[in-house]
Structure 1
Amino acid sequence: MNLNIKTIGLWVVTALFFSSCNEDFLDRASEDRVEAPYFFNTAKDLEVATNDFYAMLPGTESYTDDAKSDNLMPLNPDPRIRGARVVPVTGGGWSWTNLRKINYFLANYHKVQDEAARAKYSGIARFFRAYFYYDKVKTFGDVPWYGKVLDAKDPELYKARDSRTLVMDSVMADLDYAITNIPAEKQLNLITRYTAMLLKARVALFEGTFRKYHGLADADKYLALAAEASNALISTGAYTLYTEGGAESAYRNLFSLINQNNTETILAVDYELGIKIHSLGYSFTSATAGSYGLPKDLINSYLMRDGSRFTDKVNYNTMGFYEEMQNRDPRLTQTTAGPDFRVNGETRNEPVNLTITTTGYRLVKALPERSQWATSAGYFDIILFRYAEALLIFAEARAELGLLTQADLNLTINKLRARAGMPNLDLIQANANADPYLEAMYPNVDKGAFKGAILEIRRERRAELFNEGFRWDDLMRWKEGLKITQPIVGVYFPGVGAYDFTGDGAADVFVHTGSTSGAPSSVTSMININQRTLRNPITGAQNAPAGNIDPFPQDGKFREDRDYFAPLPTEDLLLNDNLKQNPKWDE
């Protein structure tokens, strides 16, 4: 076996830098041996080369990644929340193909005589290198930093991981370069200076809070960078919040746009009917695909319309669906189907349908018009970067630094609340009266004078950025991985019988134990609690006669000593003795 590894070692280690896949290794040859002398000559060449980097960006997974967290329960729970991840033989995210392409570009772009093009496209390349490494550090922690193209004989191929500080400072340097050199244009589907500004703020907030809550040095340095970058973007005045439709529909309307506009959206993935399509509408509405359901603790987190806390109500845990949806933050029923839910473009309310949701709380944020509900029928754009995130980052960074002011809140959180028709967040009141429900949800939160404000910003972040792919990273950076182990449950039912979900006096849901006789003719959904069991919210007892729908009775699993990082593949550990497995993954 050792002889075999030595025999194939040279080309596999080279492939380690390009990809874990042999095809990637073979595909690279002509790129630097033949084409380079003839390719990097014009501005168009640089544009074409950097266009290839856009494949690094996510697509529809941005709107489904929350199903790998506590934010959204799919029909089939992900290994990440089941605690079922295993050490891969190869792959697992430990691929370097994209980095090699970027570094190869950066080694050759200077041959072009057009100075403006060199600045712009080298800035875009360094944006993507920062993006690449940000993902690697989030996933694996310390990783090797490669700032140049390596050949098969370069000893750096076998080096150990570099320090997190070296890598993240290099990421910040790349983003500073990108911000300086990419033009300040508003381009929906292209990287611009504004995209780089927001990525810098996003990365710095992640790094600053990760360091703070995981006990690493220099947390405040990165938090200050997050505040600085987000404030710089805000101060440009280039973007504002999308408000078409008013408080009752603006938030939902933003994500329902077939073609995004650049009022709030900084970067989106463009889809076009007949050219580039997706199946999100199908996965949102199919009983056998996603069947996504929002969890009860997320529903509980939304405030009342007057700004008071829903969880301060004595019976919040045992409240029926129709009652709990009344007088809430309007974003709640623009995110999940409320009593008066109507599909975009239709004039009648949609019948209650609990067969397409695991929890009873149906996902409607980004749900398109009905014509896009079939497989491969979706063509609405996917938002990747939007202005609202900058507002949230600035507020959180300032709060974590202990510098938050009421003026900061008015500039950020209260603008988001105003769009939703919600009252302002008052800094003094928030800090004087921290929400015990959120404290129990986030036990590791900063216990200082700004605890209440930090918790409220986290509430706002979860509501505003729900199902945009941020939730797992948020839990990891806050050192709240054990949140995954808290019960993920749905709608509460006090027992068998008929229930009116729409408030029109007619039953919509019938709960039974096997016999549907006696179900009113108006019922559109049946729940057999012998199959879709209930969990008592007070005692935690499962298979209860009354309680919340329990779609994940085994509960999430998370090892505090291991699961903040993913494992490295065994193939790469064998090929490079200087690489070590992440803690506890070799047990």
Structure 2
Amino acid sequence: MKNKFLLYILAGSMAITGCKKDFLVQEPLASFTNEDFWTSESSVRAFAQGYYPDRFSGFGVNDLGGSYSVRETLNDDYTNINLSGFAAQPTVNGGSWDTYFSKIRKDNIFIENVSKMKFSDTATYKHWNGIARFFRGFDYASFVFDFGDVPFYNKPLTDNDPLLFKPRDPATVVMDSVLADLNYASQNVKLTDPLTGPNGLVITKDVVNAFMSRLLLYVGTKLKYDPAKTAADKNKAAGYLQAAKDAAARVINSGRFSVADNYQKLCSTIDISATATVSKEMILYRRYNTGEVTHAIESGNNANTIQGYAAPKDVIDAYLCTNGMPIKTTNGVNPQYQGDQSVTSQLANRDLRLANTFRTDRYYLQYIETGYSTTGYKCWKFLDEPTQNDATSVQSFNITDAPIIRLGEVMLNYIEAAAELADMGQYTVLQNDLDITINALRKRTGYATASRLPDMKIIGGLPAVGTTVYEDADRDPTVPSLIWEIRRERRLELLYEGFRLRDLKRWRKLDYANTELYPKKNLGAWVTKNATTKGLILADINGNVTSAANVTTGSGYLKVSQTLRNAANGNVLDRNYFDCVPTYQVDFYQRNGSALTQNPGW
């Protein structure tokens, strides 16, 4: 009835005004035109804030979205009964290709309109132009990472612009423009922007530099390891890696941030702004609050929650022993490693981040625990223990704040960029490089000195502890020893924070997710079965079943999925290093007299 009533009013209004004006083509009296909107700094500020939820999603909203690995289960940090894989069929239409163009059009509209405005002073204009160019650099770097060569536009286009059917530009051409945008932003975005919000919640110079270190490391390494790229492309990649290292150094050397005292609280603090021991590491984070915006990440770590996606044995084995060496080196088994036949032995004498990420009191086994893990290793990294029984810790009512980018990541971006440049003959990694990054992370003040990992040393370009050079017995032989150890630090420091899949793609190591090649990626804890746990399936270290379901005896590692994730089933293929260009777009270009190339394998 209400809808009918409104229709009658509308019809009457049209009858009254129809003789004077075409009612349907008039601008609403309360709306903005483009010219009306871009008239004040407050309007620019509101436009910029519209970017935040999408570009910096954090833990997402309710049960949806988010950039953390609990939303990214296709990587080797997880296993599951049903192993996820890449899409088997090409993208027909839409997808992230279209989304990127929408984002970049918005970026260009932002830049174009800011350039036409009058601000109170030049510094304020440069600040907002820097913010707008930061977002364009952010979006184009991500676009290149996902698709490689992409059409580059530095202005908004009209519906009939012939440039709409422009072919793909080389990735390095696009990235040169990205680097120019990010350099401009780094030089001109302000250190603080109190009218927009407090530091940590808004874009500042430090945020720009932190993201420069991430984005340029991502694309620089992906270009470096792409076998299709030329020597000239790889020389460009070195330039992006150098810029990533320099940007990270600006953040590290600023003195405005320091390593948080407690590793576990980085991802499980309800109010980061009120927690100085955590906030000092945060460069940008997302705030959550009941009645405003909430998420569901913490709920997955609650005591009674089943963790269907869980850490395989491969992750647990990656943690160093307290003497700073792997569980097994080329010289033999580490004397501090006590084996994997019980939770006490497997998790003893290890990097303290292990106990800050996983429960170490027992294995959380199906048929024994309500909140079991499919591998027995129960993650609690995202759980705020003091409030775990509150209403805010269940379902999608979680209010813990989400790190978006923090000093720990920037340190790892720095040392990885340095090592990759060294591998290209363009830098020499020094002890100080390790001391201001990996070794600084190992010295969290919340860790007792006696329990911390010792400093990583570098001797002759190789990792060492004290005066002893070591090599992981499980090292991928195609990865230099120092880079292998830096990648280990990155994996464990940033575990489940949304990095692993992109890391595997840019290192060209998607085969690590192949459980046929790497059986430990699909194994869990060592279990001796009984009548209660007879439903479990156990295997040896190579994944061969040693005790089938419903057999009451036997010992072995939990075998989570009975189906391999390998090249034969299409889940681990070279084509997956780049996304599929929608086939409709390829056809649409052709029908308009142009050509849009497809990525290899699609």
TM-score, normalization: structure 2?
0.78
1:379 and 2:399 matched:
yes
User: What is the correspondence of 1:45-84 to structure 2 with a 5 Å cutoff?
Assistant: 45-57=43-55, 58-60=57-59, 61-63=66-68, 64-74=70-80, 77-80=83-86, 84=87
What residue number does 1:548 align with?
A: 557
What residue number does 1:223 align with?
A: 241
1:78 Cα deviation after fit: 3.0
- Gap change, CA 1:288 and 1:235, over 3 Å in 2: closer
Q: Residues 309-329 of structure 1, C-alpha deviation per residue, up to 9 Å, x if partnerless? A: 223438877432221111111
What residue number does 2:374 align with?
A: 358
1:573 and 2:602 matched:
no
1:282 Cα deviation after fit: 2.4
Match of 2:456 among 425, 448, 469: 425
SS in 2 for 1:549: strand
- Gap change, CA 1:282 and 1:47, over 3 Å in 2: same
What residue number does 1:331 align with?
A: 353
1:221 Cα deviation after fit: 1.7
C-alpha separation in 2, matches of 1:307 and 1:493: 24
SS in 2 for 1:67: coil
What residue number does 2:14 align with?
A: none
- Gap change, CA 1:125 and 1:528, over 3 Å in 2: farther
- Gap change, CA 1:89 and 1:352, over 3 Å in 2: same
1:112 Cα deviation after fit: 2.6
C-alpha separation in 1, matches of 2:45 and 2:543: 61
Q: Tell me which amino acid in the other structure corresponds to 2:109.
A: Y
SS in 1 for 2:135: helix
Asked whether the 8 Å contact 1:279–1:376 carries over to 2, the reply is: yes
1:77 Cα deviation after fit: 3.7
User: What is the correspondence of 1:297-336 to structure 2 with a 5 Å cutoff?
Assistant: 297-312=314-329, 313=333, 318-336=340-358
Q: Tell me which amino acid in the other structure corresponds to 1:191.
A: I
Match of 1:240 among 258, 273, 282: 258
Asked whether the 8 Å contact 1:399–1:453 carries over to 2, the reply is: yes
SS in 1 for 2:511: helix
- Gap change, CA 1:182 and 1:231, over 3 Å in 2: same
C-alpha separation in 2, matches of 1:180 and 1:489: 47
C-alpha separation in 2, matches of 1:563 and 1:171: 24
| Structure 2, unpaired ranges of 5+ | 1-26, 60-65, 193-197, 274-278, 423-427, 549-553
C-alpha separation in 2, matches of 1:433 and 1:154: 61
1:130 Cα deviation after fit: 1.4
Q: Tell me which amino acid in the other structure corresponds to 2:562.
A: P
Q: Tell me which amino acid in the other structure corresponds to 2:463.
A: A
Asked whether the 8 Å contact 1:292–1:363 carries over to 2, the reply is: no
Give the percent of matched residue pairs that are identical in Structure 1 and Structure 2: 31
1:463 Cα deviation after fit: 0.8
1:436 and 2:435 matched:
no
Asked whether the 8 Å contact 1:321–1:491 carries over to 2, the reply is: no
TM-score, normalization: structure 1?
0.80
Q: Residues 207-265 of structure 1, C-alpha deviation per residue, up to 9 Å, x if partnerless? A: 2222222243223222211211111111111111111xxxxxx1012222112243001
C-alpha separation in 1, matches of 2:212 and 2:431: 24
1:494 Cα deviation after fit: 5.0
1:277 Cα deviation after fit: 0.8
Match of 2:126 among 91, 113, 119: 119
Q: Tell me which amino acid in the other structure corresponds to 2:587.
A: L
Asked whether the 8 Å contact 2:301–2:382 carries over to 1, the reply is: no
Q: Residues 467-491 of structure 1, C-alpha deviation per residue, up to 9 Å, x if partnerless? A: 1111111111111111010232343
C-alpha separation in 1, matches of 2:353 and 2:346: 14
Asked whether the 8 Å contact 1:269–1:382 carries over to 2, the reply is: yes
Moved over 4 A (4+): 286-290, 314-318, 431-434, 541-545
| Structure 1, unpaired ranges of 5+ | 1-28, 244-249, 343-350, 446-450, 497-511, 517-526
Cα RMSD over matched residues?
Answer: 2.7
- Gap change, CA 1:51 and 1:165, over 3 Å in 2: same
Asked whether the 8 Å contact 2:83–2:563 carries over to 1, the reply is: no
C-alpha separation in 2, matches of 1:565 and 1:553: 28
What residue number does 2:538 align with?
A: 534
What residue number does 1:491 align with?
A: 524
SS in 2 for 1:211: helix
What residue number does 1:12 align with?
A: none
User: What is the correspondence of 1:154-193 to structure 2 with a 5 Å cutoff?
Assistant: 154-185=161-192, 187-193=199-205
1:361 Cα deviation after fit: 0.9
1:89 and 2:87 matched:
no
1:35 Cα deviation after fit: 1.4
1:541 Cα deviation after fit: 4.2
SS in 2 for 1:461: helix
Match of 1:101 among 90, 100, 106: 106
SS in 1 for 2:107: helix
Q: Tell me which amino acid in the other structure corresponds to 1:481.
A: L
1:416 and 2:416 matched:
no
- Gap change, CA 1:289 and 1:361, over 3 Å in 2: closer
What residue number does 1:472 align with?
A: 501
- Gap change, CA 1:333 and 1:286, over 3 Å in 2: closer
Asked whether the 8 Å contact 2:377–2:525 carries over to 1, the reply is: no
Asked whether the 8 Å contact 2:523–2:559 carries over to 1, the reply is: yes
What residue number does 1:19 align with?
A: none
SS in 1 for 2:576: coil
Asked whether the 8 Å contact 2:268–2:382 carries over to 1, the reply is: yes
Which region of structure 1 is more displaced relative to structure 2, 256-265 or 69-78?
69-78
1:561 Cα deviation after fit: 2.9
Give the number of equivalent residue pairs: 502
Q: Residues 16-55 of structure 1, C-alpha deviation per residue, up to 9 Å, x if partnerless? A: xxxxxxxxxxxxx99xx96111111111011011111213
What residue number does 2:213 align with?
A: 201
Larger radius of gyration: 2
Q: Tell me which amino acid in the other structure corresponds to 1:67.
A: T
Asked whether the 8 Å contact 2:209–2:247 carries over to 1, the reply is: yes
